[in-house]
């Protein structure tokens, strides 16, 4: 029996719903279904700067971008060299310090990912993502 491509496609589309719904049920309490719910982790530049020496700045951009320029005193920590760079950050960290992670701009994802790993894997508290990232920092210095 020949089944048309469209009919086959519709059946495959329906078939994929089965594991997807199963996974969604498994994750139902771990996901924010209506909004990204990231407000608590974001920090704007003024707030972050007001923390002064209590803030550790973490640059989540690739190495070459960090080498070109970065926030003074920032520590590089990207996912490529996570294991290699993390000890430097941990050596500077103490309980009262807040961590501010930034990447290149508002739309980049690296800072959120690094912040998530610092919370989930390294067990650090008070980890924030800089709104607007490096772009915002640069604008404030002009």
Partner 1 sequence: MKSLSQQFFWRLMDLIVGGIFIYAGVIKAVAPLRFAIDIDNYKMLPWAIGVRLAFYLPWLELVCGIALILRFFYRGGLFILTALTFIFIAASIIAKVRGLDITCGCFGHTSKNWSFTAHLALDFAILITLIALWVSSRAQQREL
Q: Which residues bind partner 1 (CB under 8 A)?
A: 3, 5-13, 15-17, 19-20, 23-24, 27, 30-36, 62, 79-80, 103-105, 107-110, 112-113
Give strand ranges (E) for 30-132.
42-43, 55-59, 75-76, 98-102, 127-130
Report the nearest approach of partner 1 to the CB of residue 42 (Å).
Answer: 13
Return phi, psi of residue 25, to 5°.
-65, -40
Question: Which residues, in sequence order, are CB contacts of 118 under 8 Å at separation 6+?
Answer: 58, 89, 99, 101, 124, 127
| Residue closer to partner 1, measured from CB, 56 or 104 | 104
Rounded CA-CA distance 42/48 in Å is 10
Nearest to partner 1 of 8, 140 (CB atom): 8
């Amino acid at each position: 029996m020949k089944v048309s491509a469209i009919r086959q496609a519709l059946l495959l589309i329906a078939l994929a719903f089965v594991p997807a719904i199963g996974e969604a049920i498994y994750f139902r309490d771990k996901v924010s279904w209506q909004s990204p719910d990231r407000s608590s982790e974001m920090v704007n530049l003024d707030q972050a700067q007001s923390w002064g020496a209590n803030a550790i700045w973490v640059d989540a951009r690739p190495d070459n971008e960090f080498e070109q320029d970065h926030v003074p005193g920032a520590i590089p920590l990207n996912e490529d060299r996570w294991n290699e760079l993390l000890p430097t950050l941990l050596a500077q960290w103490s309980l009262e310090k807040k961590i501010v992670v930034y990447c290149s701009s508002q739309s980049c994802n690296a800072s959120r990912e690094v912040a998530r790993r610092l919370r989930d894997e390294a067990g650090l508290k008070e980890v924030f993502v800089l709104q607007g990232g490096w772009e915002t920092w640069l604008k404030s210095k002009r």
